[in-house]
Amino acid sequence: MARAVAEALTCGRHLLVEAGTGVGKTVAYLAPAVLHALSEMRPVVVSTHTINLQGQLVNKDIPLMQQVMEHHPFKAMVMKGRANFLCLQELDYAASLVVYQGDVLFERLKQWAEHTETGDIAELDFVFPDWHELCSNQDTCRRQECPYYAEECFYYRMRRSAESADIVVVNHALFFTDLGLRMIDPKSAIIPDYCAVVFDEAHHLEDVASNTFGIEFSNYRVVSLLNRLRKRRDVAMTQGEYQLVQSTNDELFSFFSAVPKQEFFLEELYEFVSREAVENKASELIVMLDSMNTQLAEQQADAEKDLKDRIQGYRNILTRMATELRQVFFGEHDGYFSWVEKPTGMRHVQCVLHYSPVTVSDLLAEVLWGSIDSVICTSATLSTSGTFSYFKSRLGVSDCDELILGSPFDYRSQALLYVPDDLGDPSETSEYADKLSERIRDILLASQGRAFILFTSYRMMNAVFHRLKDCVPFRLLRQGEMSNERLIKEFREDDTTCLMGVHSFWEGVDVKGERLSCVIIDKLPFAVPDTPINKARCAQITREGGDWFHDYAIPQAQIKLRQGFGRLIRTKTDRGVVAILDSRIRRRYYGREFLKYLPPCRLTDSVEEIRRFLGT
């Protein structure tokens, strides 16, 4: 893998490389990336999706490479988005506001600001609820005109430090945000000019790019700005004017409660509510935001310099909000679509409007593959059915080198795959939940707990949890009861605990040894077919003459299933069982595709065989 990465970087080629768990992917791309950066005298960017992998790179892999490459000394730097950093100008201004006088948390924040080297929220050991008002913000930033810009600004200090780095570590979201800025104005880029990029966890690129090049507008966007203006009292608007804007915003978002779905196309709203009423209310809010902008412009003309700059920041936010609302409700929708999400469990956000591209392939073909000398994409799950065809079609890749590497693990002796043939096709019925729970109970007793139980829906996870909680002699931890980090910690410390999780536990979680001896997967992880994103993508595939099930649904599910399988064997000494409780693998024609491209291990339909394999 290291040779392939080195050749791609040296020759200015793109490379897709899949490497199984245990290969040492990070070392394999870091060594040639360092040498290439040093020879080009420009950094190589390494982009990850999860915080876990970023932490592993910064705390383990990069320090290791700095030791073993002592004859090629290099500097590595992590870059984060603006919202992670405290703005000292905003802190000064907040200190003058009545609302923070005598506030204990604000005083703690000021003390922290005097001692922190980075100003990074990750260092903060308490929660400051108004962080979003005091962090660095592109709309209110004064840049060179700010008195802190030259030396003290935490955000620009990080950016200047990154300019001298050889390896710059970012996440996918920041990378694509930077790419979007370069499309508009190369001088506004965040990341220093680089010679190549390595995407680790590259199977997430399509979804992250779709989010970054789209719009998200929550019910709290307008409210948040109004709260900020109310606190600051440096804008001459009355409480009545604030209340009118907020009530208009609330009325607009109240329409969406009429739709009995968590996610739906904007067009679906008009089956429940008059289009005219919704669009009139959206237009009313846009006019109010524009009117606020005009009022602020009039006040700005007579203001002193500091207040003039602050008002310009507020006006930038208003302009952005009005523009985005126009696109969501009245955009031309050429290659984009508007949809609505009603998230659960969030304090302020009950509804989010989205304006998303149907595909990012044409866009990335130009601004990524066509503009950067060498792009390296790697993951343990980049291929589907033994090729990169799916990844290339979704990401707009045309000309690249390709390499698929196996794993150094002996799966035939280390792992057993259990697939029943008697459960029938999965369903959301109470009867199926009963059967599924009973089988999971049998497997847990055979494995003596020590299991991850991965589900494709919260509904089924909760149904099984309630059926099992008093029927097994093991502690059952369930996603949502505490933070994911705490759940993993509790799982590691209790040797019979079982952890039940949904999406975020299918990948990026690393538990080695006997502590994790069994991974149970409730069914093949096909994406929910009626979500707006999947519907829009599948409709496009059908319009272009493709088969959405074979070209989209199956490849996506293959990647997710292989990620779930990959939780089990993390070292050469791990042993355990993966149980996929979906009889379709045995009975449906496409089941063979899933089995064929899982790691090669023994297959059984006997729970007794699980006991023998684990020696229980």
Per-residue pLDDT, averaged over 210-234, amounts to 91
Q: Which residue do the tokens 């602020």 mark? A: 296
Tens digits of residue pLDDT in 433-481? 999 999 999 999 999 999 999 999 999 999 999 999 989 999 999 998 8
Kindly tell me if the per-residue pLDDT of 146 is higher than 90: yes
pLDDT reported for residue 495: 84
CATH of 411-614, one of 3.40.50.300, 3.90.650.10, 3.90.1150.10, 3.40.50.1100: 3.40.50.300
Spell out the residues 6+ positions from residue 342 whose beta carbon is closer than 8 angstroms to its own.
Answer: 256, 257, 261, 262, 263, 350, 351, 352
pLDDT at 171: 95
Looking at residue 19, its pLDDT comes to 94
Least confident segment among 317-326, 482-491, 577-586: 482-491
How far is residue 80 from each of residues 54, 158, 493, 580, measured CA to CA in Å? 11, 9, 32, 38
Is pLDDT larger for residue 503 or for residue 498?
498
Cα separation, 564 vs 461, in Å, equals: 15
404 pLDDT exceeds 80?
A: yes
Sign of the dihedral through C-alpha 413, 416, 417, 421? positive
pLDDT band at 57 (very low <50, low <70, confident <90, very high): very high
The answer to whether the CB of 290 falls within 8 A of the CB of 315 is: no
Measure CA 564 to chain center.
17
Domain spans of the chain, in order of start:
2-75+165-212+360-405, 83-145, 215-357, 411-614
Mean pLDDT in the chain? 93
- Quickly state the pLDDT bin for 210 (edges 50, 70, 90): very high
Task: Note the pLDDT of residue 236.
Answer: 74
CB atoms within 10 A of CB 592: 11
CA angle 158, 145, 105 (to 5 degrees): 60
Per the CB < 8 A criterion, the answer to whether 28 and 5 are in contact is yes
The gap between the terminal CA atoms of the chain, to the nearest Å, is: 39
Would you say residue 233 has pLDDT above 80? no
Phi, psi of 433 (to 5 degrees): -60, -35
Q: What is the pLDDT of residue 336?
A: 94
Which of the pair, 183 or 234, is modelled with greater confidence?
Answer: 183
The average pLDDT across 291-319 equals: 90
57 secondary structure, DSSP code? I
Mind giving me the DSSP string for 178-241? Answer: HHHHHHH-GGG-SSPP-SEEEESSGGGHHHHHHHHTSEEEETHHHHHHHHHHHHH--S---HHH
The pLDDT value given to residue 204: 95
Q: Looking at this protein, which amino acid is placed at residue 84?
A: N
Fold of 215-357: Fumarase C; Chain B, domain 1 (1.10.275)
Domain spanning 2-75+165-212+360-405: which CATH class is it, in words?
alpha beta
Question: Stretch 283-294: mean pLDDT, rounded?
Answer: 96
Average pLDDT of 581-601? 91
User: Which of these ranges, 219-223, 308-312, 387-391, 531-535, has the smallest mean pLDDT?
Assistant: 308-312
pLDDT at residue 188, as a whole number: 84
User: Under a CB-based contact definition with an 8 Å cutoff, are residues 78 and 167 in contact?
Assistant: no
Closest CA to 169 of 82, 84, 78: 78
What integer pLDDT is reported at residue 176 of this predicted model? 96
| Beta pairing partners, 358 | none
Q: Which tokens hold the place of 143?
A: 């840049």
pLDDT at 52 over 80: no
Structure tokens that stand for 120 in this block:
């990074």
Two tokens at 340?
Answer: 């609505």
Tell me how far CA of residue 607 lies from CA of 193, 440, 495, in angstroms: 56, 10, 21
The pLDDT score that the predictor gives to residue 305 is 83
Under a CB-based contact definition with an 8 Å cutoff, are residues 166 and 75 in contact? Answer: yes
Q: Do domains 2-75+165-212+360-405 and 215-357 have the same CATH topology?
A: no
Task: Say what percent of the chain tops pLDDT 90.
Answer: 78
Give the strand order in the sheet containing 352-357: 215-218, 352-357, 336-341, 263-265
Predicted local distance difference test score (pLDDT) of residue 367: 93
Q: Considering only CA atoms, which of 382, 333, 378, 381 is closest in space to residue 358? A: 333
In this predicted structure, what is the pLDDT of residue 66? Answer: 96
CB 90 within 8 A of CB 138: no
pLDDT of 302 higher than 90: no
**How much is the pLDDT for 429?**
87
pLDDT digit string (tens) for 153-174?
999 999 999 999 999 999 999 9
pLDDT tens by residue, 600-611: 999 999 999 999
Residue 43 and residue 30: Cα distance in Å, rounded? 12
Q: Which pLDDT score is estimated for 65?
A: 96
The pLDDT of residue 484 is 83
- What confidence score (pLDDT) does residue 149 get? 94
Cα–Cα distance measured from residue 579 to residue 419, given in angstroms and rounded to the nearest whole number: 6
